[in-house]
Structure 1
Amino acid sequence: MLDKLGMEGDDDGSKSRDNAYAYAGVREAAKIASRFNQHIDSLKGVSEGLKRRAIRGELTPQLKGIVERARDTVVSVIVEVSKPLPEPKGMSDITLIQDKARRVLNRIGDVSGSHRRILYEFFPAEARALKDILMAMKRDADALDGIARSVDEHASSYSKCRDRIARLVQMEQEMKTFYAKMKEMRDSFATLEQERAEVERMREVILNTNEYIEVDRMLSNVRMEYDRLLAEIARDFSRLNKAISKYEYEVGFERDEYAILKAVIDEPSRLKDVEADVIRDMLGRLSDIIASGRLYLKNPEKDIENVHTLIDRLEHYIGKCREYEGMLKIYMEKITPYQDRLKVIDADLERIKREMDRVRGMLEEYAKRASSLKSAMDEEIKQLTSDIYRIYGLNVRIRLDYLD
């Protein structure tokens, strides 16, 4: 659980570990500050020695003045900066005393370096003592620097852990949202599957109804027989295409007559709407013209035979067309209620399938986003556990609520 890691300031274990770390750092800094203050006391002794040390009398007044000014400068700086470091009370004090110690060291180091030759020639004992003290102060200042860096690193690592936990909490909430959405979509998909199954069952009930099966069978048979008849009619008329075209071009039918003939040739079922005498009359005139030789045809005898064959069959064709159309009407009236119901069911089924496809697509998209988010969370957890181990020396196992 992310809220059990103790990075939010509400866990006694992490508090005690942080307190122990802070106490150890402050205690070590206090020891170093105390030692540094001893060096400051030693500096005061050096400054007193410099003030007491007599300058050789054989020096010229000018040179003596230079030496005195150098000594006074060093003494003045030592007195100026020789204020003891305060005892650190908390982690924030460590950086403060580290900065003060570094300023003391740098100030005295700069002034002693500037007057190094004079110090070693005219105040050799004090110069050596000053060098030893400065080296000791540098070691302590470096130690304070190390503690300050450690404090900063600890604070930085702690802050990073808090940031990682904040990100993980946000990711966890986002993942919970994803999982909730995915559950909602799975439930929706399951409901849609039930709806589809019910609609398909209703469809099967209709398709398996005895009356529907029988009417559909009869309708199919009538259509099949009707199609064969129409194919036969089309074949008979197609045999006369060339003769009819030549007649229309060279002799010419009446406009209304030719429109009727053309309609039947293009759509044989239109024969049911035509009186036999009308077609018979046109075909008779066609036969007479062919017989007279006015039309140039490759095989006029065969064309005349085909014309008479069609004339002989015309009554039969028209009667059968009307018979089949009547049967189709009867069966269609019986099957239409079923077909209308099937259309409604099929439309509903198509709607359900589209909705299922949409939900499935959304589910896949959320699954991809959840997978990507989980990879990011795994990386954050890996870094977080590493940081916690580095800060506290603890191996932790992070459990996420969204998996519960």
Structure 2
Amino acid sequence: MTTCSRPRWMRFRAIVRAAAVEVFTHPIQPDSRMALMVYPPNPYADAPTPEIPDFKRPDSHRIWQLVAGIAAFVIAQVVTILVYAAIVGVGRLDSLTAGLGPEATDSYGFGFGLMAGAVTMFVLYLLIMRFIAGAPGHGLRGKNKVTEILMGTGLATAVLGVSVGVIALFGGFRITGITPREELLPAFVLALGVGLGPAFTEELLFRGFLLRIFDAWWGWVPSLLITSAIFGLVHLGNPDATVSGAIFIAIEAGLLLGGAYLLTRRLWLAIAIHAAWNFVQAFIFVSPVSGTGEAVGLFQVEWSGSSWLTGGAMGLEGSVITAVLGLLAGIGLLLLAGKHGTLLPREAVIRREKAAKR
């Protein structure tokens, strides 16, 4: 009796074909929390994809990332001060500030200085992610950038608008006039700097480095609480800051901005919320921003009433109304993140669950 065996390449093809049939006819069953996650995160998906995420975040040398990120933040602050000193000291903008006094020069100096600091931090972030983390553009790449920027701008404007509306109902806010035209440009430049400067420098540090790395080490809950607390504490250094205001910032802004990052796993939504929050607060509602002093904006306004209502010298961020609304918005983002599977556990947990399935 003779036998005829098939060539090896034919047997290999049969094995591959059988494996393909198995995959497409028996998809991964969503039998665990991990199996329901979407990876890479996509908050716009209609339903989670039954797919186990890779435990390895696409970056390395995280301790060095933290050191470099903090150093980049300090460098950005130095650049802000140097640009401000150059504009105020050299008087390059005398033609724009003629007849307006030193306040206008200060506004231009701080505004352009803060924007220069934002550009510096952005460039340094890109360099750190490329040459230290080994993940070029991480946190900034991907689709839906414009959508996230528009969403963030709208969300921040809505939260502050509702907050001011409630404060006005209690008699704490009133528009008394419009700012003279010659004062509008320096006020706009300052508000734009106050919006873009902290939005890039603080978000790239707190969400781009701290929250992202702590999330990989400890999971999203501890990392969100820790970064929110630190975010509130650093604002105690502002001239008119209060302890209650710093706590409110940790609650309303820390959770809101952290939730924005955890939802998208990118920085654009958080940057847009932060930038619009500061700009609208300063230029539209003419409120102090995080206790940094009186604001000049589009309108002449009158704030009155207790500090728990209006925020006092801390600004809208020190108001209980704003704190509650910001907290609710942050919870909403976290619920969306949970729905779409972007609240990842720490890497060690994912590694164990993947090993158990082998």
Classify the TM-score, shorter chain.
under 0.3
Name the structure where helix makes up a greater proportion of residues.
Answer: 1
Larger Rg: 1 or 2? 1
